[in-house]
Amino acid sequence: MTDSNWLDFIIDNANERRLGIIHQRSEEYASETDVLSNFKRVAEICSILGVNTREPFGCILYMKVHKLDRLCNMLYDRVNPTITPTIQDTLDDDRNYTDLLEALLREERTVG
């Protein structure tokens, strides 16, 4: 296989993998009519709450809002339940982000 063919092979495989991920994730997070709906909801919520993602704790808060959005999608049957991460996974992710937020705030001596 020539270098050019090898590169085409690598790029084609990468594109195929990424397309599969896009389709799976859109079914997990977004509505059927708007594949970007989860980003729009999370951005709107962060804006209302004044979350500044330029700050480390703002990034963690963004992720917590993202997990809340995912949890609502699962609890209110807005996504295909057979492909979605479990509710337990989402709750565990959220708890992890809470622990990371506490660690960051302790590092900055805002708590404790």
This prediction's pTM: 0.72
Burial zone of 109 (CB within 10 Å; 0-12 exposed, 13-18 middle, 19+ buried): exposed
Burial zone of 6 (CB within 10 Å; 0-12 exposed, 13-18 middle, 19+ buried): exposed
- Tell me which DSSP letter residue 81 carries: T
Residue 49 burial (CB count, 10 A): 12
The pLDDT score that the predictor gives to residue 110 is: 76
- Domain segments of the chain as ranges: 3-107
Confidence band of 11 (pLDDT split at 50, 70, 90): very high
Residue 106 has phi, psi (to 5 degrees) of -65, -40
Least confidently predicted of 44-48, 98-102, 106-110:
106-110
